[in-house]
Structure 1
Amino acid sequence: CGENLFYSSVPIPWSEVFQAWFDEREDFIYGEGPTYENAVIGHYTQLVWYKSYLIACAVSQCEHDTYKYFYVCHYCPAGNVLGINYYSPYKEGEQCGDCPSDCDDGLCTNPCPYEDALSNCFKLKKAHSCKHPLIQENCHGSCLCDSEIQ
């Protein structure tokens, strides 16, 4: 799974945590990457990654640290896998253009009933095909749902 972290010295609403991650889009050009060297964009791209449809978030309070509040979200399957369209975290186009019958509030839902157990199934499938035993065992989403979100 992918992960976003956020630290704060005071408690803040989750909406502000998500907004801070989302605001990294200002330093991001779709298909090209960061607008300047060392720009932080990974929280944003993970947040909007098209294949990540399972999310779990939590906050922890650590009284003796400078940043007492530690916010974390896990996204599955992971996005931001280097080498796999890293700077294209979603497909550009009309809302629900690829999924007119599986659309919810302008976003495609996940009609594929299978999941990939590995984050690099895309690369594995490309290199070895779905006939390879490792891929057959761990990449059900990539192999059985070619046109659906996995």
Structure 2
Amino acid sequence: MALSTPLIRPATCAIFLSVSTLMGCKKEKTEPATLPGRWQLVLEHSINTDASTGQALVEQHQPGTAGDYLEISASTFQEYRGNQLYFTAPYTYTNSTISMQGTTPRTDLSREVRELTSQKLVLHYQLPAVVNNQKVTIEATYSR
């Protein structure tokens, strides 16, 4: 029995240290994530694909500027580009989807919410128009 005691002590110490370390860690409070507010564009990743074949043609990573942001109220979604209102639409937010319809012409402006925290919003969507047989898919990252 005396031979096994030294082998047990290091294992016991390791377990004790692990448990005490875990107990000593504070769990950070997570703030509830809300969609309404002002969101500053940090980065826009876009991919142009051939509408017929699906082949990727151009991929870009564009940083946002001070004039690129979203103003989201409880019922209205407004997107600004270069401090100019790009579009505004009423929206609903259900199951990770911001559903919106443009009125002139009637187009689907919906976005999928890939991530929403108190400080970060990631939206994924496809531009509604196909130009020169190209579809554009965007993933935009915003911060508060």
Task: Establish whether TM, by shorter chain, passes 0.5.
Answer: no
- Report the structure, 1 or 2, having the larger helix content: 1
TM-score normalised by length of structure 2: 0.24
TM-score normalised by length of structure 1: 0.23
Larger radius of gyration: 2
- Report the structure, 1 or 2, having the larger strand content: 2
